[in-house]
Chains A and B, each alone.
Chain A
Amino acid sequence: MFSRLSYTFREMWASLRRNLTLTVAAVITSSVSLLLFGLTLLIQRGFDNQLSQWSGGVELIVYIENDASPEQIELVRGALEKTPDVIDTSKLEYLDIAQSLVEAQRLFAGDPETLQLLTEKNIPTQFKVVPTPDATPELLTQLALGFDELPKVIQVAFPSDQIEVLATLRGFIGLRLYLITGFLLLSAVLLIWNTIRTAMFARRREIEVMKLVGATNWFIRLPFMLEGLLQGLVGGVVASGAMLLFNANWTSGVKKFPSESGFGAFVVTGSYPMWIVFWIVVLGMLVGAIGSGTAASRFLDV
């Protein structure tokens, strides 16, 4: 058992060194493609955070003072439900203090000072309003003017033009980045495949002897498969490091933006970056395994 393990690792290492140029090319390509994959996830998440307030077709938010009584809140709800032809009452949602605090954490992730000022004693609660499909913007605006007059209503907010732009951008960027990422990942697979094929060709005489003396196919393949797996893994680790660095730089950069820039929530914090690291590494190993696995099976008949 031990001699098999030491054989496998020794051969893998020797082969990596012999093939240094190709190995480096394969690792770089997988790093770059995995980094792009990670950045795509980050950007999507940034959009989601920035847009989270307005997700689910919300086009109107009615902010209510923190100290409003239940009766006062019900009064607002009643007013909103009075126009079912404009407002989709089944999707009408009220975020209480706790829910509004959770949302604020995403919204002000890039602006910790503002976030600190918000407490359960002062955060406004809110009604999220989804209009019916045939409600025109004019009707909605007209309606909103009326709500301003109700007691304890602080403000009726519409999505800014910037939000509309961001929502469009998100759709535009997302699919295209995934496509580019896909092509880059494919080229990483092909490069690893080629590296392994070259490594096996360089050692075809050894492989021939191994087969003749009765080494199993798995024994012959294993060092090559591990070699490819390692290339993918190293690519994943490098990409993860670069992605975390990117994210840290961006997050600290956003903090310096003016608070009305509209990008305050365009950051990714918490455990999500570590999830991306996990997926980058898994994907990297998958890329390595697919590339080397197909090569090792295909070129064993030397």
Chain B
Amino acid sequence: MIKLENVTKSYSTEVTALRDASFDVAKAEFVFLVGPSGSGKSTLLRLMNRQEKPEKGAVWVAGRNINDMPDTKVPHLRRNIGNIFQDYKLLSNKTVFENVAFALEVIGRPKHVIRQQVPAVLDLVGLAGKQERFPHQLSGGEQQRVSIARAFVNRPLILLADEPTGNLDPTTGEGIMRLLDRINKTGTTVVMATHDQRIVNMMRKRVIQLDRGIIVRDQARGVYE
């Protein structure tokens, strides 16, 4: 589903955020990206949806080299990739329903599809009764569930999560983790950057460890260390 070949990415001559990274992620796999802050986890995620382009190497997504892709095709790539962030990136002037509907609306999905799919996905993430609330009326965990609903409502092939539990207390974080696990079990490939040791050790999934932009470990059923 995702394949990196000798990918190097630097932001300036001094900072090499990622050096010669290569790995493969199969369909429906779950992968943790771990490493200290500044080790290149976010950069790696941004390379997978063409928010960044590498200097060297190739990034393949669903069988296509996305760096050769013309800019006009990038939106269609992104419709197959859901994104989740530490800070949720919800729109504060929109309700829960509107935040999720927005993702469908701006890619031109018709109203009847929106009316049907948004409640379904809100149900899936456990927010059935909270459609009309605004983000500030929700707890952090609930806000992250809205953002997961928004990322998943279009049934993407891939979910990229950048420290989704970073702002949450351990129990709430665990709940989010279980939700992502459930989504992964529906066949969605999940790549999740985190430095939450407890969660990584609890899940025992594949772990790719970064250190100053270099992949130092790629282990099936790994722990954080």
With known contacts A211-B78, A213-B79, A213-B103, A3–B110 Cβ distance under 8 A: yes
Identify which of residues 208-222 in chain A touch chain B, using a CB-to-CB cut-off of 8 Å. Answer: 208-217, 219-220
Residues of chain B within 8 A (CB-CB) of A17 are none
Residue contact B106 to A7, C-beta cutoff 8 Å: yes
In the assembled complex, the CB of B76 is this many whole angstroms from the nearest CB of chain A, namely: 7
Chain A interface mostly: helix
Count of residues in B whose CB is under 8 Å from the partner chain = 24
Task: Say whether A206 faces chain B, with CB atoms less than 8 Å apart.
Answer: yes
A270–B109 CA distance with the chains assembled, in angstroms: 51
A2–B114 CA distance with the chains assembled, in angstroms: 14
A213–B91 CA distance with the chains assembled, in angstroms: 14
Residues of chain A within 8 A (CB-CB) of B109 are 3
Pick the 4 closest A-B CB pairs, nearest first: A214-B79, A214-B78, A215-B106, A213-B103
A3–B112 CA distance with the chains assembled, in angstroms: 10
Residue contact A213 to B107, C-beta cutoff 8 Å: yes
Residue contact B154 to A205, C-beta cutoff 8 Å: no
Residue contact A215 to B75, C-beta cutoff 8 Å: yes
Interface size class of A (residues with CB under 8 A): 10 to 19
Identify which of residues 184-212 in chain A touch chain B, using a CB-to-CB cut-off of 8 Å. Answer: 205-206, 208-212
Residues of chain B within 8 A (CB-CB) of A214 are 75-80, 107, 154
Extra contacts besides A1-B108, A7-B106, A214-B107 (13): CB < 8 Å: A3-B105, A209-B89, A210-B106, A211-B75, A211-B78, A212-B49, A213-B102, A213-B103, A213-B106, A215-B75, A215-B106, A216-B75, A219-B106
Task: Say whether B188 faces chain A, with CB atoms less than 8 Å apart.
Answer: no
Task: Say whether B150 faces chain A, with CB atoms less than 8 Å apart.
Answer: yes
Give 21 pairs: A residue, B residue, CB < 8 Å, sorted on A: A1-B108, A3-B105, A3-B108, A3-B114, A205-B89, A208-B89, A209-B89, A209-B91, A209-B103, A211-B78, A212-B78, A213-B83, A213-B102, A213-B154, A214-B75, A214-B77, A214-B80, A214-B107, A216-B75, A217-B71, A219-B108
Residues of chain B within 8 A (CB-CB) of A3 are 105, 108-111, 114
A214–B109 CA distance with the chains assembled, in angstroms: 12
Residues of chain B within 8 A (CB-CB) of A256 are none
In the assembled complex, the CB of A247 is this many whole angstroms from the nearest CB of chain B, namely: 46
Residues of chain A within 8 A (CB-CB) of B75 are 211, 214-217
In the assembled complex, the CB of B165 is this many whole angstroms from the nearest CB of chain A, namely: 20
The 0/1 profile, CB within 8 Å of A marked 1, for residues 75-104 of chain B is 111111001000001010000000000110
Max count, chain A CB within 10 A of own CB: residue among B80, B108, B114: B108
In the assembled complex, the CB of A201 is this many whole angstroms from the nearest CB of chain B, namely: 15
Residue contact B78 to A213, C-beta cutoff 8 Å: yes
Residues of chain A within 8 A (CB-CB) of B108 are 1, 3-4, 219
The 0/1 profile, CB within 8 Å of A marked 1, for residues 182-197 of chain B is 0000000000000000
Residues of chain A within 8 A (CB-CB) of B83 are 212-213
Residues of chain B within 8 A (CB-CB) of A212 are 49, 78, 83, 89
Residue contact A209 to B79, C-beta cutoff 8 Å: no
In the assembled complex, the CB of A221 is this many whole angstroms from the nearest CB of chain B, namely: 12
In the assembled complex, the CB of A76 is this many whole angstroms from the nearest CB of chain B, namely: 73
A224–B49 CA distance with the chains assembled, in angstroms: 25
Residue contact B79 to A205, C-beta cutoff 8 Å: no
In the assembled complex, the CB of A199 is this many whole angstroms from the nearest CB of chain B, namely: 15
Residues of chain A within 8 A (CB-CB) of B111 are 3
A262–B78 CA distance with the chains assembled, in angstroms: 72
In the assembled complex, the CB of A218 is this many whole angstroms from the nearest CB of chain B, namely: 9
Residues of chain B within 8 A (CB-CB) of A208 are 89
